[in-house]
Amino acid sequence: MEAASQTAQLPDRGLGSLDVRRILPFAGLLALIAVGAYFAVESPLFLRWSNISNIIVQGAVVAIAAYGLTLVLIVGGGNIVTGGIDVSVGAVTGLSASLIAVCVAAGWPLGLAVLAGLGCAAAIGAINAIGAVIGLSALIVTLATMNIAAGVDTLLTDEAAVRLDHPVIEWIASSEVAGVPVIAAILALVTLLFYLAVHKTRIGLRAHAVGGNRISAHLAGIPIKRYVACAYLACALTAGLAGLLLVARIHGSSPGAGSILLLDIALASFISAIFSRHLVPNIPGTLLGAMFGALLTNGFTLTNVPTYWVTTVKGAVVLLVVGVAALASRQKDR
Amino acid sequence: MTFKGRDSRMVWTPVVALAAICALFTILNPTFASLGNAQVIVGHAAVLTLVALGMTVVVRTGGVDLSIAVAVDFGALVTVAMMHDGYTFPFALVGGVLAGVLLGCINALLIVGAGMDPILTTLGTLFLGQGAQAVYTEGGSPIFLPVESIPDAFYELGHLTLLGLPVAVFIALAAVAAFWVLLEKSTFGRTLVAIGAQRPAAEAAGLPVRRDLFLAYVICGGIGAFAGVVLSAGVSSYTPEAGYGYLLDAVGAVFVGTTMHKEGRPNVLGTLLGVLFFGVISNGMVLAGIPFQWQRIAEGGLLLAVLGANMALRRSPTPLFTSIGRILRPNQVGGGR
């Protein structure tokens, strides 16, 4: 009978002989292109360079903030049961933006205002870092700092938008450098820096090690606490930098602008794992994820779909991504 | 190596801290210590109590339910919408609670069925629910009930007072009692403890882990929705995203509450204390003339302070009861699984 031949077969891996993890990056890219194609068909305006560059600019703020979150995810271990997460990134971005806007509006030189914004972000990052190092749950600590940051943000802006008219900010917002918008150039630069640092240096490798297997990394002599602390600090600082770009993009600040970003930032960072073969959050995937979010928003706007559908779709995508990653990594364990 | 358990002094620290905070606020504004003010504090705490009870159940299993904010909103939304369309209160109430139960089922299916991580999953359902609300209300506008169509029962739920306290307070107290029995005296409660402590062991021991974990999330969603109904009864309307304010406070209340337990386990009485903590803080700040915007900052700061104090006062070198220990100190090498 078949019993004899069946003992020679490989164990059933669930989805037949399909190795989900290998095709996942391609499936992800395919999905991105498919969505883009859909919008291109539905709206003739979509593929115009001005629109594409708009998408890139919209996605830039999210992407930069998300790089920090991705770093935290990497160091914490992509499987976030015991590891890292930072839900305060959105609020910190907004806080930094508000602080910069308020300072500039009060007459401070831009450099000083930016320093203030980054300093504030660093303070929040320090709290997160300390909490993580002494072993507190990252979720709870960053939930608390998120509320603190949002509260200070509200305090600063008094629930009113601040409109700025500063030459440098205008330059960032509207000019071009070598044919691309300044913001896009900044994005490219930051992306390159992060990519090299996280994926091509020894420090980056060690960061992956800390996330991959904390005990082994510890035994190998890597200073865990330093890496964890630096990850949270870096995350907050990048959020602060994203805040500067946010100020440029909306020419000032607007109450709650940061907190709304949390969804997009989380989406970008979580989805990045799908774009990699090893299901680890990564910088290029984060960029793709951020662009995907911006693409969705932009496409829906062009096809006259109400904005709240976008939120729903993004939420569904987050769930889908997390689910697929969970199932795929379970398959790996068999 | 013996398991030392908690320093017995720990159990009273939060109560003493609460008393100290009350004393501080009384100094800042003597009205704080009046009976009328106490009634106000307790009255406002009712909804948070319900939400925090649901959170207690889930945190006990070693997870968290961030989407409870959405459960609150769904409960309010469905109930108010149904009454708006002419349904009587009993039907609307059932509908509202069912909405939360449904959300809980979705969470449970993903977390228990698909094995997804609770933090990420409930974060996802939180986002999704946010969007779903906006879609239903077509942009996020509140739903008001015209005065004539407010059912008496609903109105009384929100406005009736007994002994100077709103009905909601008694409902909350009844819920506290019910949940206390559920968590402390039933096998379900004990299974939850086992799941949180060492899930593989619980599964190996043959406990109905998947079923009870599933139930935990369903219960959380259900009571969250119920809290939303109570919330909307006070204002006879539904306001989108009103639930978010309760999320941090509920999580905070549960964690403050763990400091009352001998082994750091989330517990009903501790959660109640935690709720009072946050209620006292917001009320006291208003009476002391501190602007409203500082409230969020203070609540975040309070949560951090509690976590830090908890960590600092810990004497035992061995990890605490592992579920809360793992949540509070997930990165301790050598503990847990």
Give the gap in angstroms from C-alpha B116 to the nearest C-alpha of chain A.
6
| Residue A138 exposed, middle or buried by CB count within 10 Å (0-12, 13-18, 19+) | buried
Residue predicted with more confidence, A12 or A156:
A156
Residue predicted with more confidence, A273 or A291:
A291
Give the gap in angstroms from C-alpha A215 to the nearest C-alpha of chain B.
7
Position A16 scores a pLDDT of 47
Q: Do A308 and B135 touch (CB under 8 A)?
A: yes
For chain B, what's the residue count?
A: 337
Per-residue pLDDT of A59-116, as tens digits, reads 999 999 999 999 999 998 754 445 688 999 999 999 999 999 888 888 888 889 999 9
- Give A-chain residues touching B125 at CB under 8 angstroms: 315, 319
Per-residue pLDDT of A299-334, as tens digits, reads 888 888 887 788 888 888 888 887 877 777 666 554
Cα B187 versus chain centre, distance: 22
Looking at the complex, does the CB of residue A308 fall below 8 Å from at least one CB of chain B?
yes
Q: Do B300 and A151 touch (CB under 8 A)?
A: yes
Inter-chain contacts counted by CB atoms under 8 A, chains A and B: 157
Which residues are paired to A163 by β-bridges? A252
Q: Do A136 and B328 touch (CB under 8 A)?
A: yes
Question: CA A226, CA A218: separation in Å to the nearest integer?
Answer: 11
Of residues A141, A148, A326, nearest to B115 (C-beta):
A326
Q: Are A130 and A236 in contact (CB under 8 A)?
A: no
Q: Are B277 and B166 in contact (CB under 8 A)?
A: no
- Which phi-psi region, left, alpha or beta, contains residue A157 (left: φ > 0; alpha: ψ -120 to 50)? alpha
- Give B-chain residues touching A83 at CB under 8 angstroms: 330
Residues of A numbered 190-249 whose beta carbons fall under 8 angstroms of chain B's beta carbons: which are they?
214-215, 218, 228
Least confident of A14-18, A184-188, B109-113, B220-224: A14-18
* Residue-by-residue pLDDT tens, chain B, 337 positions: 334 444 443 466 677 778 888 888 888 888 888 888 888 888 788 999 999 999 999 999 988 899 999 999 999 999 988 888 888 888 889 999 999 999 999 999 999 988 888 888 898 899 888 888 888 887 767 877 777 777 777 777 777 777 778 888 899 999 999 999 999 899 999 999 898 888 888 889 999 999 999 999 999 999 999 999 998 888 888 888 788 878 888 988 898 888 777 777 888 988 999 999 888 888 888 888 888 778 888 888 888 887 777 776 654 333 333 444 445 555 544 433 3
| Nearest residue on chain B to A270, alpha-carbon basis | B120
Question: CA A265, CA A275: separation in Å to the nearest integer?
Answer: 16
- Look up the ipTM and state it: 0.74
| Nearest residue on chain A to B67, alpha-carbon basis | A315
pLDDT interval class at A21 (50, 70, 90): low
Q: Do B297 and A148 touch (CB under 8 A)?
A: yes
Hey, what are A219's tokens?
A: 């035994």
- Give B-chain residues touching A232 at CB under 8 angstroms: none
Task: Tell me the C-alpha to C-alpha distance, in Å, between residue B148 and each of B76, B79, B91, B151, B337.
Answer: 19, 16, 18, 8, 58
Q: Do A143 and B251 touch (CB under 8 A)?
A: yes
Between CA A210 and CA A222, with CA A216 as vertex, the angle to 5 degrees is: 55
Q: Are A283 and A272 in contact (CB under 8 A)?
A: yes
Longest dimension (CA), chain B: 68
Task: Write the CB contacts of A47 (distance below 8 Å, at least 6 apart in sequence).
Answer: A40
Cα B72 versus chain centre, distance: 10
Question: CA A223, CA A206: separation in Å to the nearest integer?
Answer: 9
Give the gap in angstroms from C-alpha A185 to the nearest C-alpha of chain B.
31
pLDDT interval class at A13 (50, 70, 90): very low
Q: Do A314 and B127 touch (CB under 8 A)?
A: yes
3-state secondary structure A53-68: HHHHHHHHHHHHHHHH
Q: Are A89 and A63 in contact (CB under 8 A)?
A: no
Give the gap in angstroms from C-alpha A3 to the nearest C-alpha of chain B.
31
Which SS3 state, helix, strand or coil, does residue B288 take? Answer: coil
Average pLDDT over residues A155-171: 77
Question: CA A138, CA B27: separation in Å to the nearest integer?
Answer: 36
Question: CA A91, CA A148: separation in Å to the nearest integer?
Answer: 9
Q: Do A127 and B304 touch (CB under 8 A)?
A: yes
Residue predicted with more confidence, A169 or B140:
A169
